[in-house]
Structure 1
Amino acid sequence: MPSFVTKRPVLVAALGLLAVAVVSLASCSEGRSDRRRSRTLTTSANDGGVYLRSVAATLNDLAGNVDLELQPAQPILTASSSSDGNEVLAVCIENPNNPDGSYSYLLAQSGNANFYSLDVQPGDVVRYYVNLDEETAERGIEQRTALELRVRRLDSRDPENALIIEGGLDSPATVPQRIEIWRYSDKRMDAIRSALNRYVTLRRPPSGWEPAPDLGALQQVVERANQWIRTEKAADDTWQPEPLLTELPLDLRNAKGVTQAIAGENLRDGSFAEWEGRLLAQAVWLRDIAQWSRGSATSDADVAAALFDWTVRNVQLDSPELKELTVLHPWQALIYGHGTAEHRAWVFVELARQARIDAVVLKTGAAPGDLPPRLLVATVVDDQLQLFDPELGLPIPGKARATGTLAEAAEDDSLLRQLDVSDELKYPVTAEQLKQVEVYLVATPLQLSRRSALLEGALEGEDFVKLAVDLRPLAEKLVKPAQVKEVKLWPVPFQSIADEQTIGIELRRRAAAEFAPFAERPLLWKARVLHFQGHKDVRAEERSDPLAAPREGHLDALKLYQIPSVRPPNTELVKLELDKRTVYSAAKSAAGYWLGLLSYDRDNYDVAVNWLGDLTLDQARQGRWSNGARYNLARTHEALGNLEEAAKLLGADPADAPQRHGNLVRARRLTEAAAAKAETAK
């Protein structure tokens, strides 16, 4: 019977147990099978279903595929690197050359350790598989867990097979047990810094440069998706590229990056590019958000209103001159939590798409004076275009509903005048401008490709996600309204690809700085992904498993946003070097702000007030999140019934706040509602 060994109490907290196990079966019944694994194992390696299931499983567990190791352990000595290819078995006894009563002499009695030849160094970790797990032993399984011990030095008399560990054990371990030597390195951090520096200095790669914590998982998704596509039958000869592509501006079609993306052969027969894995993940984020952010809404009109409201609250509005700062795609607006009116419009259209609601971008007719045409978004509900203004953060008022239609607003200018604040601050759209609007259909080259259509068509049930777009039916529907002058393809997604190829070094430097907190604080990235994921019921294939549990994304996100590695105390931040303090402080303030947003979505309004007010807005009145915190704090007070306080906050917007106009409109409405409430209470 092997001996049981424990560390001295003073070292237990520092060393702990590493749950790495060696299992030998003494006698046990066959364990419960994993349905997904068994199904995969019984499928031929040439069956494309293996690859498809791998793609679906990874995309549906993006949070579970986040690499959290910034200093991963690298194996120095294992069975494969021993001198004879066998396990290294060692005892831990008193040093025979210097007996001092401590059991710190680790001797590889198997004689195959090669400590010196493998350059084992002080500080390396010895995993000593000496402890027997009593719980598993009771079930007839001999499972050993490893103590983690630190190398103090090699034994000068036998450096290949003997070393001294720090501290020592309480008692000798005289029965040889397996050991491994591991070393923690900074390779992950070095790789992150190298990737960011390569992008900043060389713009390489122009797309997908971000060293995200889930990058490895998405690379596997792309690889497996392409393997699956190769198992499918040849393309249908009737497949044709989207005709509207030919109507994009010529200079945009000829732009670097765009030309290849929209080439017929790429759209028809191309494989997923490595950077397109992020766009597949983006679709999953949007699908999940669309599922939970609708709340109790059931009709398309109410769902669209809920999705627009979520977009406004969660994508803090940037000034138009900052449009090229860091955000070029919806996933960036989501993960960073900010963007321009164009980015809000794009996010909203994609959320609506995942909810099976058609949505488009509109541009009004010519505006008076030097004002540019106004950008609006619209959902197609009951053959009517329901209008929203992403810059105001408000729907266009209707005659009988909170959200009006294009036909209503084009006929009745008084609906638009409800959005005026004063003679000096009028809403810059008239009914006349809405009589001839341009409608823009939103799609990326990837969404217009055959590969996306194939993959979407193969995903079913809980795995389904909208990946492809067929614009022709929607285009035909949209030419019918009298107010529609022309239907076009929105150039912004294509311009984003072109901009990635030409973005200057200063903007690349800012983009890298904004991404750094997610790369260096991977738990922040995981918290964001869980935030997007929300609650998910037990998967259908696992419902017969009594141990299966739903995934509580929001609860897990709340925990991760608050852990010390994401929100370290200020007393720790001030001790850090400037570059690291800047990154960690940015992560901390963002996590606090997002805690407020998530608390609001969970109807925990008192908690939201604390995070958005005391811990965000009051900490930095002119900080990165001040505009979003002020707006969302007002929305929280509105939800609590504190209408006057909400109106006061909205009215306190600085003159240069991008959403000031819309906030003043909302403040006026709340003031009127508070007065009516007070009058009723008399």
Structure 2
Amino acid sequence: MNRPIWLGLGFAPLVALAAVATGCDYSSREPDVVSPGTFSPGRGPMPGTGRNTAAASPREAADRAAILDSSIELIRNSVLHPGGDNFGRATQQLNQYFEGTPGPSYRLESDARDFLAEQLPPEMLRDLESPMWSPRGDARHLEDCMLYSSVAGRIGGTGDDLERARRVFDWMVEQVQLVPAGWLGSRQLPQVPARPYDVLLRGMATESEGFWSERAWLFMELCRQLNIDVGLLTYTRGNVLKPRIQAGPGADQADSQQVIPWVCAALVDDKAYLFDARLGMAIPGPGGRGVATLADALADPSILERMDLPGQHSYGTSRASLISSPTKIGVLMDSSQGFFSPKMKLLQGELVGKNRTVLYRNPAQQRDHFAKVLGDRLGEVRLWSTPLQVEQELFRNPQFVDSTKQSLTFFSSDYPLIYARIKQLRGDLEGALGEYISFRLIKDVPLVSERNKAKSPQAQAGGRQEPIRTIPAEVQKGLDLYATHYMGLAQLERNNLGSARDMFEQVLTMAAEPDPTQPFYVAFRWGADANLGRVYEGLGDAPLAIRHYARANRSDPSWQRHGNLLRARDLVWRRPFAPGAGRPAAATVNAAAR
């Protein structure tokens, strides 16, 4: 039987969680107030809910469609209109929309309940089955999923699922720079794990030893929108008792040294394809081609041996270590609660067209999918505690909230960066570039609140007397670097390689060599070098690509350095008659790194 996940989180189960404001503003901790509308469960099915559609008149169907569209738009636009009650109004409308839905529709399916009951306390299960839509967790889940859906649908595109997963993974690696654990902290507040929505905004993530895997979590969420199941594979070293899996920094070290979180496995056509979010690359298949499956790695020692950098750094995981794992291959699944809620299943069935979004996944069916694919190599399939911990800490722990806000300093609603970044993530690249240009490298940019005041009727009538407040110079310096880097990413996504190169070169000029005494945003220097490697590889200039890959993370202790050096080495191997090819590949890479 699975050990209850909440026993490993270090805090008691929470029933009443505090509210979080819209967008990336986590300042509100007031009790959640639900606007119920005229909701009264159990009266009978509401026309148009998929159970009694024929009974709905055209007027009723149109009214209900308008209610649903309005609620979705309120949530989608909440981040662009901070300070309002978008979440409250949206959930009131959702309560109205589902008014009269039979009570049994809100019950967990029996297999899902059995699986979750082994790991979650009864209070959490009751909360999942609540018929009431709340601004607290439900609207947040919708907002998150709509952003993930926008990214995954645009980047994944069409084609077979493996290719779509590869596109999403590669985009994520380009967009989200790895930083060492603690990099986004300060003397006053430590860095804490972040949810994927915030990772996308800030373009920085941590993949540390243990279970702090922000890019892995983001990959799970993006692939979910493609209906691809992804889990974090683990194995154990030595003969150990059944481990306690605990999330994030501060995890029990005895367990962490034995339970090894390894790579993401994406299930496609009954095969588990391996993507290493730490290295920022898929594990190459036999002969260095395609993406390796778990079966490949278990059958052929060279698959994982190829991931070593002889004389520099060992990959650490081998075929032998996987086969000798006393607990076989474990799987950690996303524990974000919204995906288990029957309410989300009901709403998912109602969303069509541009609003179509994956909101729900039966966890027992996901477990069974992993069992089918991994077969007799499968150990335990359980919920990954990190997502649940992050969600709950954001609603209960003021210091955790403050640490999260600290990493999002430049995404205040009073600065223009967040509005441009949201446009970029939603695919409006032209609009985002225009927004970045409007404030990048410009002095005395007014605060957004000041711009809004200037548009008010009183200001237009000449009633404003006080001076206009502008963005502080130190903040503007950070915004300039963010905007320059994000403009490079936008051009990279558009495949405008020359423009992308120019912007990333500017990042190298603007950002000092990263070290703990510098502002955390200088880490974009590492990302710019790595993306310049991709640019020059796309332009067919292998020597310059090797140079940038090899030097990208000279001062970065994260696993991304290992991945970049593997890319450089593979380019050397592909060009055996290029200058310097007479030396071993590792020596060539070392020379480039210097």
Aligned residues: 461
CA RMSD of aligned residues (A): 3.3
The residue number in structure 2 matching 1:563 is: 438
- Asked whether the equivalents of residues 444 and 471 of structure 2 are also in contact (C-alpha less than 8 Å), the reply is no
- Asked whether the equivalents of residues 333 and 384 of structure 2 are also in contact (C-alpha less than 8 Å), the reply is yes
Cα 1:420–1:617 shift into 2, 3 Å? farther
Cα 1:416–1:494 shift into 2, 3 Å? same
The residue number in structure 2 matching 1:62 is: 77
Cα 1:672–1:466 shift into 2, 3 Å? same
Specify the SS of the correspondent of 2:105: coil
Specify the SS of the correspondent of 1:355: coil
- Asked whether the equivalents of residues 236 and 259 of structure 2 are also in contact (C-alpha less than 8 Å), the reply is no
The residue number in structure 2 matching 1:232 is: 101
What do the CA deviations read for 1:55-93 (whole angstroms, capped 9, x no partner)? 23445x639x723xxxxxxxxxxxxxxxxxxxxxxxxxx
What do the CA deviations read for 1:108-143 (whole angstroms, capped 9, x no partner)? xxxxxxxxxxxxxxxxxxxxxxxxxxxxxxxxxxxx
The residue number in structure 2 matching 1:656 is: 556
Specify the SS of the correspondent of 2:336: coil
The residue number in structure 2 matching 1:442 is: 334
- Asked whether the equivalents of residues 406 and 434 of structure 1 are also in contact (C-alpha less than 8 Å), the reply is no
The residue number in structure 2 matching 1:337 is: 203
Specify the SS of the correspondent of 2:361: coil
2:133 pairs with 1:271: yes
Unpaired runs of 5+ residues, structure 1, are 1-41, 68-212, 535-552
Structure with higher helix content: 2
Cα 1:234–1:244 shift into 2, 3 Å? closer
Q: How far, CA to CA, are the matches of 2:238 and 2:574 in structure 1?
A: 32
Cα 1:335–1:238 shift into 2, 3 Å? closer
Specify the SS of the correspondent of 2:536: helix
Q: CA deviation at 1:358?
A: 1.9
Aligned letter for 1:517? F
1:646 to 530, 538, 545: 545
Cα 1:326–1:246 shift into 2, 3 Å? same
The residue number in structure 2 matching 1:359 is: 230
The residue number in structure 1 matching 2:381 is: 487
The residue number in structure 2 matching 1:592 is: 484
Q: CA deviation at 1:318?
A: 2.5
2:570 pairs with 1:669: yes
Q: CA deviation at 1:225?
A: 1.9
1:389-538 → structure 2 map (5 Å cutoff): 389-399=276-286, 401-435=289-323, 436-480=328-372, 481-500=375-394, 503=397, 505=399, 508-521=401-414, 523-534=416-427
Unpaired runs of 5+ residues, structure 2, are 1-57, 185-189, 208-212, 240-255, 447-467, 515-521, 582-594
Aligned letter for 1:347? L
What do the CA deviations read for 1:287-334 (whole angstroms, capped 9, x no partner)? 111122135x61111111111111111121122445872552110111
Specify the SS of the correspondent of 2:379: strand
2:170 pairs with 1:309: yes
What do the CA deviations read for 1:156-212 (whole angstroms, capped 9, x no partner)? xxxxxxxxxxxxxxxxxxxxxxxxxxxxxxxxxxxxxxxxxxxxxxxxxxxxxxxxx
Q: CA deviation at 1:616?
A: 4.7
2:144 to 282, 306, 309: 282
- Asked whether the equivalents of residues 315 and 338 of structure 1 are also in contact (C-alpha less than 8 Å), the reply is yes
Q: How far, CA to CA, are the matches of 1:239 and 1:291 in structure 2?
A: 28
Q: CA deviation at 1:609?
A: 0.9
TM value normalised by structure 1: 0.62
Q: CA deviation at 1:648?
A: 1.0
Structure having greater relative contact order (Cα 8 Å, sep ≥ 6): 2
- Asked whether the equivalents of residues 336 and 391 of structure 2 are also in contact (C-alpha less than 8 Å), the reply is no
Q: How far, CA to CA, are the matches of 1:305 and 1:393 in structure 2?
A: 11
The residue number in structure 2 matching 1:299 is: 160
The residue number in structure 1 matching 2:457 is: none
Q: How far, CA to CA, are the matches of 1:379 and 1:370 in structure 2?
A: 25
Cα 1:234–1:596 shift into 2, 3 Å? same
Aligned letter for 2:272? L
Aligned letter for 1:433? S
Q: CA deviation at 1:282?
A: 1.4
- Asked whether the equivalents of residues 376 and 390 of structure 1 are also in contact (C-alpha less than 8 Å), the reply is yes
Cα 1:613–1:425 shift into 2, 3 Å? same
Cα 1:528–1:318 shift into 2, 3 Å? same
Q: How far, CA to CA, are the matches of 1:367 and 1:307 in structure 2?
A: 35
Structure with higher strand content: 1
The residue number in structure 2 matching 1:348 is: 219
- Asked whether the equivalents of residues 117 and 125 of structure 2 are also in contact (C-alpha less than 8 Å), the reply is no
- Asked whether the equivalents of residues 592 and 616 of structure 1 are also in contact (C-alpha less than 8 Å), the reply is no
- Asked whether the equivalents of residues 413 and 430 of structure 1 are also in contact (C-alpha less than 8 Å), the reply is yes
* Rg larger for: 1
- Asked whether the equivalents of residues 43 and 50 of structure 1 are also in contact (C-alpha less than 8 Å), the reply is no
Specify the SS of the correspondent of 2:133: coil
Q: How far, CA to CA, are the matches of 1:470 and 1:591 in structure 2?
A: 40
Aligned letter for 2:429? H
Aligned letter for 1:596? G
What do the CA deviations read for 1:9-59 (whole angstroms, capped 9, x no partner)? xxxxxxxxxxxxxxxxxxxxxxxxxxxxxxxxx946995443212123445
Cα 1:331–1:406 shift into 2, 3 Å? same
Specify the SS of the correspondent of 2:103: coil
Q: CA deviation at 1:246?
A: 2.8
1:631 to 522, 526, 530: 530
Specify the SS of the correspondent of 1:273: coil
Q: How far, CA to CA, are the matches of 1:641 and 1:613 in structure 2?
A: 18
Q: How far, CA to CA, are the matches of 1:363 and 1:322 in structure 2?
A: 26
Q: CA deviation at 1:236?
A: 3.1
Q: How far, CA to CA, are the matches of 2:316 and 2:359 in structure 1?
A: 36
Q: How far, CA to CA, are the matches of 1:525 and 1:674 in structure 2?
A: 42
Q: How far, CA to CA, are the matches of 2:431 and 2:478 in structure 1?
A: 21
- Asked whether the equivalents of residues 235 and 259 of structure 2 are also in contact (C-alpha less than 8 Å), the reply is no
Q: How far, CA to CA, are the matches of 2:503 and 2:533 in structure 1?
A: 13
Q: How far, CA to CA, are the matches of 1:397 and 1:214 in structure 2?
A: 47
1:50-129 → structure 2 map (5 Å cutoff): 50-58=66-74, 62=77, 66-67=80-81
Aligned letter for 2:364? R
Aligned letter for 1:281? E
What do the CA deviations read for 1:441-468 (whole angstroms, capped 9, x no partner)? 2241111011111111111222210011
Cα 1:47–1:502 shift into 2, 3 Å? closer
Q: CA deviation at 1:337?
A: 1.0
Aligned letter for 1:62? N
Q: CA deviation at 1:383?
A: 0.6
Cα 1:527–1:214 shift into 2, 3 Å? farther
Q: How far, CA to CA, are the matches of 1:216 and 1:364 in structure 2?
A: 46
Q: How far, CA to CA, are the matches of 2:106 and 2:482 in structure 1?
A: 50
- Asked whether the equivalents of residues 393 and 401 of structure 2 are also in contact (C-alpha less than 8 Å), the reply is no
- Asked whether the equivalents of residues 222 and 272 of structure 1 are also in contact (C-alpha less than 8 Å), the reply is yes
Aligned letter for 2:476? Y
Cα 1:268–1:228 shift into 2, 3 Å? same
Q: How far, CA to CA, are the matches of 1:499 and 1:508 in structure 2?
A: 7
Q: How far, CA to CA, are the matches of 2:170 and 2:422 in structure 1?
A: 20
Q: How far, CA to CA, are the matches of 1:578 and 1:557 in structure 2?
A: 21
